[in-house]
Amino acid sequence: MSSLTQATTTQPDVPDRARYYTAALRALRFVERRAPTTRRFGSEADARWGAFRGSLTTADRLDLLLRDADAHWPAAFGARNVFALRAAAEDEAFGAGWSPLDPLDAEELWRKVLAEAPPEGVRETLLAAASSWDLHLDPPEVGTIAPTDKLLVVGPSAVAAVVTAFAAGKDLDWADQVVCVATPPAHRQLAALGAALLNETKKPTALASPAGKTTISAGRRLVLSSDAAPGDATWARAAAAP
């Protein structure tokens, strides 16, 4: 996920960091259910962590899991793109000065999410991730999506609708066909997770509303939902105009 706006050095507050971790962990549980590895969750993973952890805490375990997932599905699980944070390297999952959760808070979050049943499908995972941010999705009708379609997707409900359609489609390429406009962190995280939920390992493109010129070609099919940020919607309508 890349951004046309400048990255920020402002760190998110504790509640937003907790929402990010909760959404990411719920999505990762779906990924693990789809293709179990025994490395992330379950008794074998717990045993490995117990032998390895030393003085590390559950907060460290969360970050290690998400770094690993972010390397496999580039820019899908890291916090840097969700919060548009500066980083020393393009593939850095977190960003300069990132603050993990307090160990006790991380332990509580871990136990809470692992007590839930893992999401069973892409749509259910998107709903679970959105609920972590108190978002209530109302996906619009997107119609048939062909492999030749180029889409500009704006708003978390629109993102959910398009990801779900891609999961049900054939010969579709999320990274090649879709650009998501997403400024608020909650919206950016849903857009970022799209590729991982579709099990695509090419780095996707998600954009915040740019303050300057755009490099997005005109004529993309606009998929816009009513819960889009107003600035995102305004910019995307102009960008998608013929």
Q: How many residues does the chain have?
A: 242
Q: Which of 101, 132, 163 is the last residue of a domain?
A: 132
The domain of 114 spans 14-132
Provide φ and ψ at 24, rounded to 5°: -65, -40
> Same domain, yes or no, for 123 and 18?
yes
d(C-alpha 65, C-alpha 122), whole Å: 20
pTM above threshold 0.75: yes
Residue 143 falls within a domain, yes or no?
A: no
- Residue 154: Cβ within 10 Å count: 32
Instruction: Identify residue 136 by its one-letter amino acid code.
Output: H
**Does residue 44 or residue 214 have the better pLDDT?**
44
Summarised one tens digit per residue, pLDDT across range 57-106 is 999 999 999 999 999 999 999 999 899 887 667 778 998 789 999 999 99
Summarised one tens digit per residue, pLDDT across range 113-162 is 999 999 999 999 999 999 999 999 998 989 899 999 999 999 999 999 99
Name the token pair of 240. 């998608």
Number of domains in the chain: 2
Residue 123 falls within a domain, yes or no?
A: yes
